Amino acid sequence: MELPGTVLFLCPHNAAKSVIAAAYFDIMAIERGLPFRADSAGTEPDDHPWPAVIAALQADDIDVAGYRPHHVTAEDLAHAHRVISLGCTLDDLAPSTVQVDHWDDVPPPSRGLEASRAAIMRRMDTLVAELADRGQ
């Protein structure tokens, strides 16, 4: 089956929120039979995911230890089916045709990883249900 697109999750450092969101999105999309997969990137990427994020995801049998954050490009944005920003300012990077959904209510993991993960999961439930309802 050909995938209609990618859901691109962005956070400034591509080391915590976007990594969490992409990991759980892929699981939920597969469970719901959605033909989407996640990608993540950052505007100022770190060298590695945050160690606490790696550990938290490993507790759910999700391995992101080998993931390397990368810088989002205009091409990434243009080719994504959906773009979700978790605190990024995209300014001139996003083409005018790209709709960016802002999940600015997700708290920084540095202030509480579990609260951040819970906020992402609430948003993720809505996103996955919306994609499933649209038949996309």
- pLDDT tens per residue, range 32-71: 999 999 999 999 999 999 999 999 999 999 999 999 999 9
Percentage of residues in the chain having pLDDT higher than 70: 96
Are 44 and 113 within 8 A, CB to CB? no
Are 58 and 27 within 8 A, CB to CB? no
1 — pLDDT class (breaks 50, 70, 90)? very low
36-41 and 82-85 beta bridge pairing: unpaired
As given in the structure block, the two tokens for residue 108 are 């920084």
pLDDT of residue 94: 76
Spatial CB neighbours of 61, under 8 Å, sequence gap ≥ 6: none
- Give the least confident one: 1-5, 34-38, 76-80, 114-118: 1-5
CA-CA distances (angstroms) from residue 136 to 17, 21, 36, 69, 112?
24, 19, 8, 28, 33
Q: Which among 58, 39, 50 is positioned nearest to 13, based on CA atoms?
A: 50
pLDDT digits (tens, 9 = 90+) for 78-92: 899 999 999 998 877
At 82, is the secondary structure helix, strand, or coil?
A: strand
Any idea where the domains of the chain sit in the sequence?
A: 5-133
Q: What is the fold, at CATH topology level, of the domain defined by 5-133?
A: Rossmann fold (3.40.50)
